[in-house]
């Protein structure tokens, strides 16, 4: 027998940590599985290469513009910043950037909210809620965006008697289509949070709303941020389809300029550069936000 004075002290009970939004975590004696640490992503050389590629394309464009109308089969003079007509055309093209951004941001905000609302029944216990989620996601993922834009703009006023302009028709159609994908992103992100976090929150007496808002969603956000960024880049590109109903965004303005100038190659090259700059700016912003979140999680 080992004397009582020589016996080792018993180890303290293991305590699981609930990761809540706030200044400090709340501890509860619930054995929840631990989370793997999140490492800050390293700086990739890919964005710098893309920026270098865009700069090279812009340099080639300016070099071609300097040749004027005598550049063989090229007609860079239509978008040359060195001539009054070229500056006017460039200003007309760049003027669609604000409409494209406003259209995409508005549709993205509505689709995120709608996607979250649609995703919540999918993680619940009500079978009718899960079925409604499945029907919504499958239906709107199956409809092509261009068809949905045309139906909303031309069909909705006839069916519902609602007068809708081109901007809100584009926003509504893009948001409907994208909300189905957002719902799946939110569902997978919420389900990736360890179940022990929910059990610990329930043990502390938190309501379902408090658990989702303070415990689950802040952790799920780290998992769904990259897919959300991809969806926003996808939304920026799909906003070009709204040009078919007359929305004066980037693509519509390029099409109108092609009709008047008859130089599609040069004008669409500028259009490609405009979308490239927008997408690269979104990608870099998301990478910066991911690094900030990873540092704050350490």
pLDDT in tens, 27-49: 444 444 444 444 444 444 445 65
Task: Summarize pLDDT for 182-233 with one digit per residue, the tens.
Answer: 999 988 888 888 888 878 888 888 887 788 888 888 888 878 888 888 889 8
Burial (CB count within 10 angstroms: exposed 0-12, middle 13-18, buried 19+), residue 163 = exposed
What pLDDT does residue 193 have?
83
d(CA 100, CA 78) in angstroms, rounded, equals 23
d(CA 20, CA 68) in angstroms, rounded, equals 62
From the centroid of its chain, how far is CA 172?
16
Residue 174 in contact with residue 127, Cβ under 8 Å? no
Residue 122 in contact with residue 130, Cβ under 8 Å? yes
Site of tokens 């109308």: 69
What pLDDT does residue 27 have?
44
Which parts of the chain have pLDDT scores under 70? Answer: 1-73, 296-298
Residue 93 in contact with residue 257, Cβ under 8 Å? yes
Other beta carbons within 10 Å of 281: 12
What are residue 205's phi and psi, to 5 degrees?
A: 85, 15
- Domain definitions of the chain by residue range: 73-296
Residues, the chain: 298
What pLDDT does residue 35 have?
43
User: Which CATH architecture group holds 73-296?
Assistant: Orthogonal Bundle (1.10)
């Amino acid at each position: 027998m080992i004397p009582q004075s020589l016996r080792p002290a018993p180890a303290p009970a293991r305590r699981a940590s609930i990761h809540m939004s706030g200044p400090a975590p709340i501890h509860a004696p619930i054995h929840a599985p631990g989370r793997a640490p999140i490492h800050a992503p390293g700086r990739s050389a890919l964005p710098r290469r893309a920026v270098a590629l865009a700069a090279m394309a812009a340099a080639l464009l300016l070099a071609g513009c300097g040749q004027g109308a005598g550049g063989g089969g090229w007609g860079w003079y239509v978008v040359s910043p060195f001539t009054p007509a070229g500056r006017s055309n460039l200003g007309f093209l760049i003027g669609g950037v604000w409409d494209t951004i406003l259209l995409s941001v508005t549709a993205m905000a509505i689709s995120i909210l709608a996607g979250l609302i649609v995703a919540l029944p999918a993680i619940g216990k009500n079978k009718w809620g899960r079925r409604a989620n499945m029907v919504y996601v499958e239906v709107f993922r199956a409809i092509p965006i261009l068809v949905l834009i045309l139906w909303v703009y031309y069909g909705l006023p006839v069916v519902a008697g609602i007068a809708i302009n081109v901007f809100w028709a584009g926003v509504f159609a893009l948001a409907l289509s994208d909300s189905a994908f957002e719902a799946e992103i939110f569902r997978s992100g919420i389900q990736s949070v360890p179940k022990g976090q929910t059990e610990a929150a329930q043990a502390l007496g938190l309501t379902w709303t408090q658990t989702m808002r303070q415990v689950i969603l802040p952790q799920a956000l780290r998992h769904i941020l990259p897919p959300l960024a991809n969806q926003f880049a996808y939304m920026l590109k799909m906003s070009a389809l709204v040009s078919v109903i007359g929305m004066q965004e980037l693509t519509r303005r390029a099409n109108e300029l092609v009709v008047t100038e008859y130089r599609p190659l040069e004008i669409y090259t500028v259009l490609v550069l405009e979308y490239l700059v927008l997408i690269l700016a979104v990608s870099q912003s998301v990478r910066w936000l991911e690094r900030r979140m990873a540092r704050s999680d350490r």
